[in-house]
Amino acid sequence: MKFAITSKGDQKSNTLMHKMRTYLLDFELIYDEDQPDIVISIGGDGTLLYAFHRYSSRLDKTAFVGVHTGHLGFYADWTPEEIEKLVIAIAKTPFQVVEYPLLEVIIRYQGGAKESRYLALNESTVKGVEGTLVMDLEIRGEHFERFRGDGLCMSTPSGSTAYNKALGGAIIHPSISALQVAEMASINNRVFRTVGSPLILPAHHTCMLKPVSHFDFQVTIDHLSYLHNDVKSIQYRVPEEKIRFVRFKPFPFWKRVHDSFIDDSD
Residue 115's alpha-carbon distances to 66, 164, 199, 234, in angstroms, are 33, 26, 26, 10
Q: Could you give the 3-state DSSP secondary structure of residue 221?
A: strand
Assess whether 45 carries a catalytic annotation: yes
- In angstroms, rounded to a whole number, what is the distance separating the alpha carbons of residues 69 and 77? 11
Show Cβ contacts of residue 266 under 8 Å, excluding neighbours closer than 6 positions.
none
- Pick the catalytic residue: 34, 37, 45, 77? 45
HEC profile of 69-109: CCCCCCCCCECHHHHHHHHHHHHHCCCEEEEEECEEEEEEE
Q: Are strands 217-221 and 224-228 parallel, antiparallel or unpaired?
A: antiparallel
Catalytically annotated residues: 45
